[in-house]
Every structure is written in C-alpha cells, then in structure tokens.
Chain A
Amino acid sequence: MAALDELTRPAGDDDHVGGVPARLVASPASTEEAAALVAATRDLTVVVRGGGTRLHWGPPPRSLDLIIDTRRLSGLVEHAAGDLITVLKAGTPLSELELGDQQLALDAPAGATAGGVVATGASGPRRMHYGTARDLLIGITVVRPDGVIAKAGGKVVKNVAGYDLGKLYTGSYGTLGLITECVFRLHPRPGAAAFVRSTAPAQAVSTILAAQVAPTAIEIDTATGELAVLLEGTPAGVRERSGLIEKLLAGEVSEAAPGWWGREPWASDEIGMKLSVPLSKVPSLIESGSALRGSAGTGVLYAAARDITEVERLRALCVRGGGHAVVLTAPAEVRDILDMWGPVPGLALMRRIKDQFDPGHRFAPGRFVGGI
C-alpha cells in the first residue's frame, strides 16, 4: 500500500457522494494508471465521479473510501469521420466535443462526461430518433474491480463477436468497475431543425406518429401544458414536415426549443423520478395530475413528486401499466426511508453479475438496485 500516497490525495470538503464523505481522491490520467490504482486499492470502497452532474442520483454508498475522478481521463482519442465513429476517454465533457458536421446524439447537461452518461444510462428528448447510450456505444474499455483492463466491442458499428459488455456497463452506476474509454457511433448533423410548439393533449402523439413525418423528439410538459415536436432533416423537408405538424396540432413552428426542453422538472431539493410506461399508457399518466415532463414519443418521462405518497402513487400507476418508476434523486431525509429503485425483475441474475465482477462489493456499494 506504499503506492497509495502517490496515487491518491486526501479528500476535500466537496468530495462526498450523497452526503457520504470520501477519505481519498484519485485522478488517474490513463487506463493503465487507473488499473494500477484500482489494483493498489483492493480493500477500499470506491465511487467513480465524472462531471458530477448526476452524482446525486441513486442511494448514497454504504461506505466510501475513495473517489476516482475521471477529469484527467479526458480527450478525444479519435474521430474517424468517414466511418462515423469517435473514441473518447471517459472523462471527456460531451459539450466540448468538436465533431464538425457530425454529432454524438446524446442529450446531456453541461459538464456531463461521456463515461458519466454511459454509467447512468441517462437520456433526453432525442432518444426517440437516435436511441440512447446503449444504442450508440459500440466499444468500451473498463478497469474491473480487480484492476484488470478489459475491452469489448470495437470500432465498427456492426459487430456480434462476443458478449456486448458495453450494454452491461451502460446504466450500471459504477457498480461493475471504472469505464475509461468509450467508442461511439456518430450521426451527421442535420441540415435544418425546427420545433413545433402546441398545447395539444398527449393523445395527439398517435396523430403525430400516424403522419409519418419521422420526428426526432416528441416532448410534453404538464407545467406549461405544452406538447412540442422536434423535426430534423433537409431545409425543404423540415419546412414541409413542420408545416404539416403545425396544422395537425394547431401549433406554431419555432426555431428555438421551449425553455423546459430537456430539463429535469424538479428543483434541487425536490424528489425527482424517472417513469417509463408503454406508449399507450402515456395519456393516462399525463392526466394523473402529477408534474411530468419528458418523451411522450417513447414513454420515458420525468416527474417532480411532492412527497412519498406521490412517489408511491406514480409507481403503482407505472408498474400496473407494465412500466417502471425509479426515484433518481431526493432530499436525504426522504431518500433514506424510500425504496428508490422499486420492483426489479431479474434481480437474482443481477446479483450474480455483481458477485462475478465485484465479489468484494467495493464499487459503489449500495447505490444500485437491490442494494447492489
């Protein structure tokens, strides 16, 4: 453990996760350095920190010795424009990417890193068209909890060789090890984009889908009563398609997104939930009286819940409809008496995955489903 002093520094006041202070912080600058660090800290509990934009999501860790900060694991390794792929170090902030007329089509708040978006499986409005991190991630390099470096996938989009470990790491909340590098599929930046803003009800979603206009996003916000559609494509095509949707919804074409677009509907001291339901259940969820916002086109919405009663009510509604309701964030006093994840089918298999990858349960202990 002599190396520990060289690899880590004492934690500061800001180095806590969900109110649990860390003792040590380390900022490795390469996959190899990270592997040496993880191998040298085999008896410590660890939480990985990216940009910190969603570090408050999920339950706090049961124990926390070391924060591994990915800020020095940053930078674009490769952008193969002709192949529509990019290789990013995990700590790379997505908002700083410069990919010319191409884009990594992930919605993320300012400061969010590639690794963080993958680890949380976070998504935004454009998921309807582009999918989420699980769809765009084509290769991954990780440091396992035992310090071994492993890769899966590669640099080509089409690849079925071996297990798709990238999907397993996507949304794993740092419980399976440290993600150090990600390979993503890119998309061309559209030549034009337009929003159609309206006050149409959630039932209008099926009308939009029936119109075959291939929307990039359909978002709804109960606070403003708005339903907004994003259309992307060629200038002429977008003009025609947005005109059609404008008529269908009795809305208005706008170049700018509504102010609420892609933002979480809760304040920092409120209970924030992620709800997902089958598409046909979106209207009844919207009409349930809660403050909701999100992707009416995919059935993934976000809620600001007032109290535990509302959490339970929304969860019952979603689960009964064949969906899920997860509390992403909540004030400490609420969080501690709440089941943040709700029912988790397949939990026994998930525990076995965790036991295989992290038998000592030292990566993000207690932060994931079922106390994993």
Chain B
Amino acid sequence: MADIDALARRLRAELGSEQVVTDRHELRTYECDGLAHYKVIPALVALPHSAAQVAAVVKACAAAGVPFVARGSGTGLSGGALPHAEGVLIVTAQMRRILDIAPADERAVVEPGVINLQVTKAATPHGYYYAPDPSSQQICSIGGNVAENSGGAHCLKYGFTTNHVTGLQIVAPDGELVRLGGRALDPPGYDLIGAFVGSEGTLGVATEVTVRLTRLPESVRTLLAAFPSIDAAGAATSAIIAAGVVPAAIEMMDALAIEAAEAAVACGYPPGAAAVLIVELDGPVAEVEAQFEQVTALCTRAGAFELRIAADETERALFWRGRKSAFAAVGRISPDYIVQDGVIPRTALPEVLHRISELAASHGVRVANVFHAGDGNLHPLVLFDARVEGEAERAETVSGAIIDLCIEYGGSITGEHGVGMDKAKYMPRMYGQDDLDTMQLVRCAFDPGHLANPGKVFPTPRLCGERPGGDLAARFPGVEVF
C-alpha cells in the first residue's frame, strides 16, 4: 500500500485534498455499483472536476502502475464499475456540466457525469431529445452510457448509445487527452469512437461526449395489449415486425412481472393477462395513425383480449411506469432476485420462454419475465429467498442456464447491461479464443499495461506483445496480470 500513499499525496497536491478520498469509512460508500452483491473497497477514490484532472489521475496511475476504474452514477448492472482493491476509483459525478446544446447542429456536448435525462430536458425546448433511454435514465450518467453502450426501450427504432455518439474526448490509459470526432460525421481514420463506446472502461475514461440530438416526433401513440398467453403476445410481436412496421418500442411483461408491478406502482394493467405488450409508435401523424391501426388489428388477430390506447401523456406515462419500475417492483414479491440480461433472435422468443419456464420449474424457483420483445432482449428476473438454504445457488444455476440458452439460440450474453465483472466467465462460451485474442489486440493498442478497469469483460487477458498460446503466469513468473 506504500504506492497508494505516495499516489494519494501526489493527487492531493494536483487535485486538492477534498477531491481525494482515502478514509476507509468513506471509501466503503463506493464498494459496489448497481450489481450490489459484488463488493470491493477501492484503495483510493478521486473526484475530478475536469478533463485535465482526470488526465492527471490517470497519468499518476500509469506512472505508479496502479489500476484505475471509472465510475459514473454507479447504476450499472454487471459490476463494470466495481472498484479494484489496489486501485483508484475515478468518480465522474462532479463533471456535470452540459457544455452546449446546439440544435442547429443536432448535437449536445456534455461532461461524462451529466445525467441521461438532463440532456433530453435541456434539448426539449428546442424541439429535440436524446434518444437512448435506459430505464435508469433519471439517474444514470452519459459517461456510464458511453462505457456500457447503453440501450433502452426505444433502441428498436433508434439504436444504442454507439449510434448517437459523434465525438469524444477521452483520457487514454497513458494519461493523454485525445479528441475523437466531434459534431461532424465520419472523421477520417479508424472508428475509435466505435471501438471505445461499449468498451466498459477498459480503453480509458471519457471526459467529454458529443451526442446526436433527435428531432422530437410529431406524434406518439402507445398501446397496451393484454394476451391470454405468452405465445399469443410473441405471435403479435412477430406479426408486427413481419408487417414491415418498425415501432419505437415493443415491450413485454409476463404474469409474474405484472403482479410485481401492480404491487409496487398500481399500474392497473388488465386483470387476468398472461402477458402484456406495450407497443409505441412515433413519427409523423400521417404515418403513425395508419400503422397504429395496423398494429391494433394484428394484436387482436393474435388473441389480445383487451386493448388500451393511451389517451394522453398521463396515461402513456402510466403504461410505462409498470414496465420501467419492473426490476425494482420484483422486490415486492420476492426478498431477493437476479436481473438477467440476454438476447435471442426475436423469432425464438416463444420457444426460449417455454424453456425458461421449464428450467424454473425443474429447479423450483420462479422467473418473472420483462423484456424488449422487439429486439429479443430478455430480462428474466430470477426470484429467490437467500434465507432459504440452497435457493440462492439454484437461482444462480437457472440464471446461468438462461444465458446458455441465449448462446444456444445464436444470441448474446448481454444486450445492454454489459459483461463487466459478472459475465466475463461467459465470454468464452460466446466467442472463441481467437475472437477474444483479437479483441485483446485493441486493448493492447490502448492499454498495454492493463491498468484500465482490469479484470472486467475478459476472463483471461494476455500480456500485450505476446502471441497467444501457453500459460502467461508460467512464462512470466512474478509478473502481475491484473
């Protein structure tokens, strides 16, 4: 820990002592992110106020060979911002300035600690908004969104964070400030923005983000459809896509998820539904009206027994409240639960859901399903009671088996929550060793010392400059591979 003491002195001198935390008690408040069952107390927390200060921290880490982890609001669900016990946690929460709202360029320029929803709030008076809308948008930060390539309910039509970032200023793991892109599109050279967004803090720290602002749609129509079975709701989803409609969102909840949402926020969904769909269309009035008729007809044909159309913004908000509160709401019906995040091809939905319910039944746990049906992004909530002997383990088994199902059906181990600490072990099931080694080439270009968020995303990083093959520890005794 001698290194950390020296580092703390250097950072206090460069940042000011109130921006450097070493008190054990205070450090504990940063021990986890949104995935609270992983806990690590960082050696030091830095609270920079500017890009230059982030660069100073990273430079000091690079010089001392100390790992660093960046953290935004700490809402991530994969342990991506879990601290390193011998490392520095760089908290960007103090960097909360919206630097520019430029409707004429259809861009906003913000610091990484700015809250997602604040960008939309600042842009709305100009007729614009920021499209990526993770359910945590009231508290999650843009810097965190960049690290995780966050999605949201509306990415079916509008894409993810990566489709909305046109410029970045980053601090590379050697401490250098680098500008990539800006307000104009297609900067020459490799698409380093594309590589950086979604790299989960392993390629550096974003210190300024230029995002696209999207024109507010002329009209938004929201439908709540109740179905007698999951299969019927799945069939309606497929029929909507097959008809050539691209809704802004198609969200599904099953009976157990509905039960939880009712208990928590009294959203008043139709009683007796085995599944509900929320379908939202947006765009020019003339388009939305025609397609909305089509969608309601398709839902009815697929067996919907009740259709509700949001009459106004209040009713629309109520439809969404049930959906957006679903994760937390599950706490009302179960003392503990695991939030899973996996992706399957949309057409496999009914089959995979059957297999999930078989898995749940055979292991004696309950699974509530909440998901972005339009793009096959499942969020099964595996319920358990940690006080009951063996339940946590069974829930963990089912949760892992669901991820295996996603891989089996040609999907992904994560659609929006990221790999982080939680899913690094699944990466070799989705990708071959050569694929993972190729990703490491990018890592080595940015971070040859493996100091940026080590231990996340990749299960077994190899030393840079070494060709794959062989056991690193055996070949380089005494070398620490974070």
Contacts and interface: CB of A to CB of B under 8 A. Distances in A.
Asked if chains A and B come from one complex, the reply is: yes
Contacts of A152: 431, 435, 438-439
A161 B347 contact: no
A144 interface: yes
A356 B203 CA distance: 15
Nearest to B107: A278
Contacts of A134: 191, 194
B198 interface: yes
A162 B106 contact: no
A212 interface: yes
A82 B234 CA distance: 12
Nearest to B465: A356
Nearest to A83: B345
B420 to A, nearest CB: 10
Interface stretch (A11-19, A45-53, A247-255, A346-354): A346-354
B195 A356 contact: no
Contact of A156 (B245, B375, B419): B375
Interface in A210-268: 210, 212-214, 233-234, 236-237, 240-241
22 contacts: A83-B346, A83-B376, A85-B345, A149-B434, A150-B434, A155-B411, A163-B198, A164-B195, A171-B190, A187-B246, A188-B245, A189-B244, A212-B216, A276-B186, A278-B107, A280-B105, A341-B189, A345-B178, A346-B190, A350-B192, A352-B444, A356-B442
Contact of B284 (A172, A233, A353): A233
A110 interface: no
A287 interface: no
B414 A212 contact: no
B244 A161 contact: no
Contact of A324 (B184, B244, B346): B184
Contacts of A326: 188
Given A163-B443, A276-B185, 4 more contacts: A82-B241, A123-B186, A156-B411, A349-B172
Given A322-B184, A346-B178, A160 B218 contact: no
A161 B412 contact: yes
B286 A236 contact: yes
B481 interface: no
A156 B105 contact: no
B377 A150 contact: no
Interface string B408-440: 001111111111000100010011101111110
A166 B4 CA distance: 39
Contact of B436 (A80, A162, A234): A162
B137 interface: no
Contacts of B73: none
A172 to B, nearest CB: 6
A154 interface: yes
B258 to A, nearest CB: 23
A81 interface: yes
A207 interface: no
A155 B410 CA distance: 7
A192 B283 CA distance: 16
B482 interface: no
Interface of A: 80-85, 101, 121, 123, 131-132, 134-135, 142, 144, 148-152, 154-168, 170-172, 187-189, 191, 206, 209-210, 212-214, 233-234, 236-237, 240-241, 274, 276-280, 298-300, 318, 321-324, 326, 341-342, 344-350, 352-353, 355-357, 368-370
A142 B439 CA distance: 12
Contacts of A240: 284, 286
B178 A188 contact: no
B120 interface: no
Interface in B164-182: 172, 176, 178-182
Contact of A356 (B178, B182, B445): B445
A123 B163 CA distance: 15
A241 B442 CA distance: 46
B127 interface: yes
Contacts of A149: 434
Nearest to B181: A345
Interface stretch (B147-155, B307-315, B389-397, B472-480): B147-155
A252 to B, nearest CB: 20
A351 to B, nearest CB: 9
B296 interface: no
Contacts of A142: 438
B343 A345 contact: no
The 6 closest A-B pairs by CB, nearest first: A167-B194, A188-B244, A323-B184, A150-B438, A278-B183, A280-B104
A237 B286 contact: yes
B225 interface: no
Contacts of A132: 186
Contacts of B151: 158, 160
A79 to B, nearest CB: 12
Nearest to A355: B445
Contacts of B26: none
A231 B436 CA distance: 42
A318 B437 CA distance: 38
A165 B434 CA distance: 13
A347 B189 contact: yes
A121 B435 CA distance: 22
Contacts of B149: 160, 164
B82 to A, nearest CB: 17
B416 A160 contact: yes
